[in-house]
Structure 1
Amino acid sequence: MDWELCRIFVAVAETRSLAGAARRLRISHPTVGRNVAALEKQLGTRLFARANDGLSLTSQGRKFREHVDAMAAAALRAEAAVSATGAQARGVVKLSIGASLASDWLIPRLEPFLLAHDHIQLEIITHPFPASVRRREADIVLRPVDSGEENLIGRRIGRLGTGFYASRDYAARRPLPQRRDEWKGHSVIGFADPTSYVGLARWSEVITRQGTVVLRCSSREEMLAAAKAGLGISTLSCFVAAGDPDLVRVAPQKLVNVADLWLLAHPDLVELPAVRAVIGFVTDCAREDRVRLRG
């Protein structure tokens, strides 16, 4: 059985559309359709049926999904069992991490680790975020939530602070708000897709509701650029914004949101020497930078 066909099948089953699977896997819509058709031809049965709310699994599709999940779990256990017997940490380790945490925090610290572990190839995955360990999109996930529905194990390695920031030019034009009732007349940079940052977006909207949203952005990088351009006040990670000389923090002693930062992996992967090495490295970095990350 071609595992790539199975991977595409699972993506379609979970997103309930060819287009959704294509976006998740970052391949073309026609490619997904051709592979699903090829898999159905190979198995001699229909795996999906069209419904009002998208594609749904047929009875045969549901049975096949059970076998695919079992295959994935067995492959993971086999890999872990064989790799864990090796004395040296080696192999590819895929780490899912937010784009800002990757570019502004972890990647600048990687050189000593990579020099000391030249048998490990580390893959930094920022899209999709968070990547799924169960679907083998990642081996380790660093995110500000707990294990969720994937039955992962891990630890809380720190706390991640978020505050409101504006450019120095914006702050020079008028006093920055110190209380919730002082946001009237201020320009706010909001979230274009609040579902990606549910708790953070809700917190931001409650604080800034008397202000005027002038721009919504789909990524934290765009929000940072908009704030630096003087377009308004934006919610930003403290560890990113605090080091930027063009930005000032709004009410630093009051307006801050802090979330736990979790490092998680599949139970069958944590004994792999390479995975243990990466987990240990990221944990040590977070411990050393705990003040910076919290903000």
Structure 2
Amino acid sequence: MDLWCKKLYRFLDGELESGDEEHFRLHLALCRACASGLHDAMQLEMLSVQALCGAVAHNDAPPPPSSVREPFRLTLPRGRWRQALGAVLAMGLGAFAAFMTGDGFRPKDAWRADASARGLEARIAYPAADRYLPYVPVRTGAGDPAALAAEPPVPLRTLAALEERGDLHGIAAAYLVRGELRQASDFLSRSAPSVDRDNDRAVVAMAAGDFRGALDLLEGVLRQAPDHPQALWNRALALRGMGLPLQAAEAFEAVARRGEPGWSEEAGIRARALRQGGHFLK
């Protein structure tokens, strides 16, 4: 390890002399280890800087459910974090992402493509995030959707590549599969209006316990797209969450009849459990 590598956190905290700070900026541009460390330390902060987003907020997007916290806003409490961000801005987010991975895009990192099970009951209306996986509920941190994040966060390099492509829904889906509702809600609110976006806003609402609000969103989706597979599944979950097990069973039976590999089989099991007075893996 280079001696300069040991100074990363002193740099972030603004504890380096001006000459050393300038030397470290040059070191950062050449050292993969320090670039990776900077990525880990500043991931959420960087994603929250509007200069890195370049996306125009859609004013027609309804606010997120009241039980979901407001979107993260950048605070820089110590040292010269603004200068550290400036160093990365000077490199350019695209260049930083390319430096980290070559092409900057690692889609399997985003939507848990290598996972063997899912921790989210709901279905996300983003194709890469809707691959069927057996449902294994999260047992730790009961009641806390953030407990789904039992793995490292989505790499900044992947999020940067998605942002560069204007795929805000893809970023939201990456957060949703990890149960990170605040970030997912933020990116969904800035995504282009669509039935898929409203489905995923309903997923956020359900995870926050707002089943009535979720059902309203899903009914709106199904009025526009009656065969929307994710909305049909999520409607059944919303009905169950509202304490309507027989209506939920009927909704799951409708999903089962669609013949979707994996999803239809699980829907049938859920419907039978609801009719028998049970709860599927709850």
TM-score of the alignment, normalized to the shorter chain, above 0.5:
no
Bigger relative contact order, structure 1 or 2 (CA pairs below 8 A, ≥6 apart): 1
* Structure with greater helix share of residues: 2
* Structure with greater strand share of residues: 1
Higher-Rg structure is 1
TM-score, with length taken from structure 1 = 0.29
